[in-house]
Amino acid sequence: MINILSYVVILVIFNTAGQLLLKNATFNVRHKKIYLFMGYSLFLMTMGISFLLLKIIELKYFTIIMSINYISVILASSYFFKEKLNLEKIIGILIVVIGIVIFTLDVFDDNI
């Protein structure tokens, strides 16, 4: 059986790759249908993995996992599409990270 961390890693990778493929479809008109098909296929798989995760973990943990996707897409876009990490994106990443930390502390305080 695959452990929870494996599901999380696969979920983040598939979601990030799906968004990058859909973004690439807007740039690459020649192979647009292929990128759209692959991107939406990954989103479909992401939904399936999400349903599996929601059966295993509580929703409060799942929201933390899904917040990581925002950061991974920004970082992957800057790497693969050479997008600039401007101040607004960096502030956005910091806000998401701070939110994850605060939410994680709150979640673990509930268990005490």
- In this predicted structure, what is the pLDDT of residue 1? 56
Q: What is the pLDDT along the chain (112 residues), one digit of tens a residue?
A: 578 889 999 999 999 999 999 999 998 888 999 999 999 999 999 999 999 999 988 888 888 888 999 999 999 999 999 999 999 999 999 999 998 888 888 666 655 4
Enter the pTM of the model.
0.83
Tell me, what amino acid is at 43?
Answer: F
- In this predicted structure, what is the pLDDT of residue 51? 93
